[in-house]
A and B are shown apart, each in its own frame.
Chain A
Amino acid sequence: MSVLLQAILNGVMTGTLIAVPAIGFTAIFAVLRYPSFAIAAYVTVGGFAGWFANSLWGAGVLPALAIAFLVAGAAGVATEEGALRRLRPAGALTVAIATIAANLILENVTRFLFGNDLRGYDLPLRPDLRFADLRIGPQQIENVLLAILVMAAVFAFLRFTRYGKAMRAVADNIDLARLKGIDPQRVAVTTLFLGAGLAGVGGVLLAVDTSIDPLAGARILLTVFAAAVLGGLGSIPGAVVGAFAVGIAEELSLLAVPATYRSAIGFAAILLMLTFRPRGILGERAS
């Protein structure tokens, strides 16, 4: 029983960490209409940016998050403006493939700069908390709270600010948005900054939880993608729901199959969803 509870608890925590980059991925998809697999590299870039600030200036988690958001967001905008934008007329598939290339390039830039080693953040060690049979690290609790805070900020931004509403309008109907005077290109750039920045925030949360290396983002890419597909591509609440579903499913799977099969859960989730409900849990469109 407690094994099961522990797995669910772990799943919830994985889910919150995955939810942040998954929101970024799905937001970029909603506005720009292509899946950006470069999100993996933005996770890694953010994780390293935070690590750099932490080990060089002793930055705590909060400033590290802020720096990661800015650096990863800038990387996202630079990638879009420097390369992807020109490919957009060729269609979503072309851009999606180009994001895989961009991902490899960015990944290797971080490898060149920081090497292949696993890097840990320098944060005070604290003993695990215990509730009955359940164990949980104080840092994990903090991560979950931070992730929730970030998500709340994203929801508030989309719901209450003029820019957030413009973003939702463009995602809904780009031509109508233009007729109202909204410049979709500006919205696209903002969305990329936000989406890649969120991936970077996810990178720090992930790195604080474990460690960071050039492949850190690539390792969670499938899970992030599965979360977004499961929730319905382009739906932000969907990405959150999907992240929890995949996170919990992955942890539960560890009770039954060896850890090496963990990533099969992501694949299975995508396949099942595309077979039985292509628009996802909360998605509105089939495409």
Chain B
Amino acid sequence: MSVLAVEALVAGYGAAEEILKGASLHVEPGEIVSIIGPNGAGKSTFLKAVAGLLQPRAGTIRFAGTDVTRRDPQGRARAGISFVPQERNVFGSLTVAENLEISGYLDPAGAQGRAARLYERYPVLAEKRHALARTLSGGQRQILAMAMGLMTEPKLMLLDEPTAGLSPKAADDLFDAVVNLNRGGLPILMVEQHAVEALAVSTRGYVFVAGRESAEGAGPALASDPEIRRLFLGG
């Protein structure tokens, strides 16, 4: 059974025109799946719709076999979907420790132990424990955002451009962190601008154009497809 199976999703913001025009995608257990595509293709919108921040107008979202299309974001978080947005993905006015703690809101009993393990895995967070999140560097903030996403012990992780704005070194570290998470069995669906690097670590990839998927394939195969290289990978 697919972890995530999205069929013909149609969604937009308010009364404005549709952004997603029948997008379909699936994530299988243990996979890393990347979505690449030009700016404005609707990649972020797709993840928002899967996380429940956007109510779709048509289509279905099944998570681990259950239809969650009509659930609110809290309900989907409870079911095990964890979404790390592209922007504003930490609570800037809260400390690092408070950010982790509040991210364990659904399971306060287990939150402390999980935070302790995350401090161990990401020592920079332990160092900055009492700093306000808005004072973190870009790389530290992305690590915090991802750690916050892990506080709910998710069954699926959605990452929107986790390496945006990072130095090449910090971006590499972050990809390593993503791969490490996935080795533990956590399925990951991520949107990335660094398409080559993302596809290289992905089981499969999708190319989104104008609100729906236009190509799908194994990560490395997609990265070496001449047509796709020409269109999206700058070569």
Contact = CB atoms under 8 A, between A and B. Distances in A.
B74 A181 contact: yes
B94 A175 contact: no
Contacts, number: 66
A173 B88 contact: yes
B53 A179 contact: yes
Contacts of A166: 102, 105
Interface in A166-208: 166, 168-169, 171-173, 175-183
Contacts of B85: 175-176, 179
Given A168-B91, A168-B94, A172-B91, A178 B72 contact: yes
A172 B77 contact: no
Interface string A196-230: 00000000000000000000000000000000000
A183 B94 contact: no
B164 to A, nearest CB: 16
A284 interface: yes
Contact of B91 (A162, A169, A181, A284): A169
A165 interface: yes
A169 B83 CA distance: 16
Interface in B81-118: 82-83, 85, 88-94, 98, 101-103, 105-106, 108
A166 B90 CA distance: 13
A168 B95 CA distance: 11
Interface residues of A, number: 18
A239 B67 CA distance: 46
B94 A180 contact: no
Contacts of A180: 77, 102-103, 105-106, 148, 151-152
A173 B103 CA distance: 13
A210 to B, nearest CB: 37
Contact of A181 (B77, B88, B90): B77
B78 interface: yes
B108 A168 contact: no
Nearest to B90: A176
B188 interface: no
A165 B101 CA distance: 9
A176 B90 CA distance: 8
B91 to A, nearest CB: 4
B101 A172 contact: no
Nearest to B82: A179
Most buried by A among B72, B85, B91: B91
B77 A168 contact: no
A169 to B, nearest CB: 5
Most buried by B among A168, A171, A172, A179: A179
A180 B83 CA distance: 9
A169 B148 CA distance: 13
Contacts of B94: 165, 168-169, 172
B93 A172 contact: yes
Contacts of B91: 168-169, 172-173, 176-177
B51 interface: yes
Interface string B19-53: 00000000000000000000000000000000111
Interface in A23-57: none
B205 interface: no
Contacts of A176: 85, 88-91
A175 B53 contact: yes
Contacts of B53: 175, 178-179
B187 to A, nearest CB: 18
Contacts of A173: 88, 91-92
B73 interface: yes
19 contacts: A162-B105, A162-B108, A165-B101, A169-B102, A172-B94, A175-B73, A176-B91, A177-B91, A178-B52, A178-B73, A178-B77, A179-B73, A179-B82, A180-B103, A180-B152, A181-B74, A181-B105, A181-B106, A182-B74
Given A162-B108, A165-B101, A173-B88, 17 more contacts: A165-B94, A168-B94, A169-B94, A176-B85, A176-B90, A177-B91, A177-B102, A178-B52, A178-B73, A179-B73, A179-B82, A180-B103, A180-B106, A180-B151, A180-B152, A181-B105, A182-B105
Interface of B: 51-53, 72-74, 77-78, 82-83, 85, 88-94, 98, 101-103, 105-106, 108, 148, 151-152
Shortest 3 CB-CB contacts between residues of A and residues of B? A181-B106, A178-B73, A181-B77
